[in-house]
Structure 1
Amino acid sequence: MTSRFRRVALIGKYQASGARAQAGAQDGVMEDIGAFLESHGCEVVVEQSTDEHPEISRYAALSVGEIGRTCDLGLVVGGDGTMLGIGRQLACYGVPLVGINRGRLGFITDIRLEDYKATLVPMLAGDYEEDHRSLMHARVLREGNVVFDALAMNDVVVNRGATSGMVELRVTVGRHIVAVQRADGLIIASPTGSTAYALSAGGPLMHPAIPGWVMVPIAPHTLSNRPILLPDADEISIELVSGRDASANFDMQSLATLMLGDTVVVRRSDHRVRFLHPKGWNYFDTLRKKLHWNEGGS
């Protein structure tokens, strides 16, 4: 069966010590996947950092920008962190992504490694479900100037310093002041990120079709400060009023140090990430599998 995707980028993460430690057990995985794609008529390329692994060095190595401009599909082999990183970078190009889970949870890399051949055959032929996920565009403003700019798929988190006390944050949604919160921090999460840090801090799960965000305080001083769902059409501003050594994290993959008076401004990005899933996939199946909701009583 010939693939409807002419050029496919194979993307993995070999820099992490965990991935290198697994190389002995799964040394030929990437090479096997590349050969499988070629057998279905795909031209295979690899993302530049993936090319550091010798087993697939025979494929042309492209930058993320080159992949975005020339590839029809990105096949990501790794965990959710790998998918978050490449998803943010490729969103502006509209390249669809398929995730083969080589990590632990796999909320957005949902194809099991041992099942990839049987699962990918119909998907390569065009039989799949398409799922779009919103991105968050965050900026750090200092005296009116942008000093940091980042995209996030999961969340934007303002945190207190590791050895300091609480931070005090003035939160504005649109043109309305919501609260001045004293807490260990604050999470603004997308529906995709509602199953990540926000969930562990007591936030609700959000279906990815909901056009909103969840704002979750981290260990608030006032117990009536509870998670709240917000429309993603509104801009959210978080000003650091007091607190030492505070920082802002974006998907826990990039970091900005904050000074008093800095404001983290979060708005909906103009770009969305395109995911392709096996035919019949739905969000509730993912929740049942990953959160073990199907393990109950008799």
Structure 2
Amino acid sequence: MPKIGVLFNDIKPVACRMAQELEETLSQEGYEVCVRSSQSGLLGYSQSDQLPNPTPMDALIPEGFDQSMAFCIVLGGDGTVLAACRQIAALEMPILTVNTGHMGFLTETYVNQLPHAIAEVQAGNCMIEERSMLSVQVYRQETLLWQALCLNEMVLHREPLTSMCHFEIKIGHHAPVDIAADGVILSTPTGSTAYSLSAGGPVLTPDVPVLQLMPICPHSLASRALVFSETDPVQIFPATPNPMVMVVDGNGGCPVLPQDRVWVERSPYSARFIRLQSPEFFRILREKLGWGLPHIAKPTSVELP
């Protein structure tokens, strides 16, 4: 029998209970099961007064996880999925995501459907959908200060967020541009339905090989979202004397000083999601975000008073 991994959000009682039940059930069926918390995938925030000590991106792999695993079951909400993708990206392991949270935009199935979902995966009645990830690094001169893998987006802004500042941004071989805004969002197609969407950016289907740059509250009528090839690396220089804060996937980041630069490129690793049926992105948009819902039909005739 193959080896199966389980990553769960250990602050959610439902996920904790399901992880224990899964370990018992799968072990009785003869599988070798490795159960670990998703907490090591959470980034945390580095402090400006700490010495640089960047964690290697492939050092987040949970103890006991390796490439011999058939797949990994992730129990939690979208935040848990984001953390799990960072933890096992280097193993290129497919994940079956189970929603024990609220929105569950990135999850594939629910707790009450999990036994059926596992049976379908074991029978090979599934497919793998790959999602692009980003490699985010912060440099001071040539010294690497901080780095992380990112599935949704990287956000760079001032604190307080309402203070406008300037960003000098260079995309690929193109000439640098200056953007005046409260901040900037650099997102993958997966992240186009997250913070970028709330900031007014377009929705991108996950299979499009592009990245998106979205200014936050830009101070210009001409400053809008830019979509470009994911093969182009991005350099961001904070063209302001005030410190900034970088946040990755909404749960961690680091300070960025005026002399620093941020380097972002497509990661060689991808998130690999197990899909029990052919991915239907528009259905997910409709169910989770209410996009494309039919309007109530207008009456064919109106009686005048």
Q: How does the TM-score come out when normalised to structure 2?
A: 0.83
Deviation at 1:130, TM superposition (A): 0.8
Amino acid at match of 1:11: L
Match of 1:126, SS state, is coil
1:115 equivalent in structure 2: 113
1:6 and 2:2 matched: yes
Residue in 1 that maps onto 2:57: none
Q: Give CA deviations for 1:141-181 in whole Å, capped at 9, x if unaligned.
A: 21232211211111111011127721210011112234211
**Is the contact between residue 160 and residue 243 of structure 1 (CA under 8 Å) also seen in structure 2?**
no
Shift of residue 291 of structure 1?
1.4
Alpha-carbon shift at residue 245 of structure 1 (Å): 3.3
SS at match of 2:66: helix
- Superposition deviation, residue 100 in structure 1: 0.3
Secondary structure at 1:32 match in 2: helix
Equivalent residue of 1:85, what SS?
Answer: helix
Match for 2:6: what amino acid?
A: L
Q: Which position in structure 2 is the counterpart of 1:47?
A: 36
Name the structure 1 match of 2:23: 34
- 2:84 maps to amino acid: I
Q: Any idea what SS the aligned residue of 1:28 has?
A: helix
Give, in whole Å, the separation in 2 of the partners of 1:27 and 1:88: 20
- How far apart, in 2, do the equivalents of 1:163 and 1:127 lie? 47
Number of corresponding residues = 276
**CA distance in 1 between partners of 2:82 and 2:75 (Å):** 12
Q: Do the aligned partners of 1:47 and 1:63 also contact (CA within 8 Å) in 2?
A: no
User: What is the CA deviation profile of residues 244-290 of structure 1, one whole-angstrom value per residue up to 9, with x for unaligned ones?
Assistant: 23111111222110111311111111111111011234222222211
What corresponds to 1:75 in structure 2? 73
Task: Please give the secondary structure, in 2, of the residue aligned with 1:186.
Answer: strand
Q: Is the 8 A contact 2:153 2:248 kept in 1?
A: yes
* SS of the residue 1:177 aligns to: coil
Q: How does 1:175-254 map to 2 (within 5 A)?
A: 175-254=173-252
Rounded Cα–Cα distance in structure 2 between residues aligned with 1:261 and 1:230:
26
* Residue pairs, 1:119-158, within 5 angstroms: 119-158=117-156
Aligned to 1:269: 267
Distance 2:36 2:99 in 1: 17
Letter matched to residue 150 of structure 1: A
Q: Percent identity over the alignment?
A: 28
Q: Which letter maps to 2:202?
A: P
- Picking from 90, 93, 97, the partner of 1:92 is 90
Deviations 1:9-64 (A, max 9, x none): 1110114xxx2xxx3x77733333334434554222201568xxxxxxxxxxx961
Instruction: Measure, in 2, the Cα distance between the counterparts of 1:163 and 1:99.
Output: 33
Aligned: 1:283 with 2:277: no
Distance 1:196 1:174, change over 3 A: same
| Preserved CA contact (<8 Å) 1:168 1:243 | no
Any conservation in 1 of the 2:136–2:263 contact (CA below 8 Å)?
A: yes
Q: What RMSD over aligned residues (CA atoms) do the two structures have, in Å? A: 2.2
* Correspondence for 1:101 among 93, 99, 102: 99
Q: Provide TM-score, normalisation by structure 1.
A: 0.85
Alpha-carbon deviation of 1:86? 1.4
How far does residue 243 in structure 1 lie from its aligned partner after superposition? 4.9
**Higher deviation after alignment, 171-180 or 33-42:** 33-42
* CA distance in structure 1 between the partners assigned to 2:263 and 2:190 by the alignment: 19
Question: Quick one: distance in 2 between partners of 1:106 and 1:170?
Answer: 35
Distance 1:276 1:49, change over 3 A: closer
Gaps of 5+ in 2: 40-59, 297-305
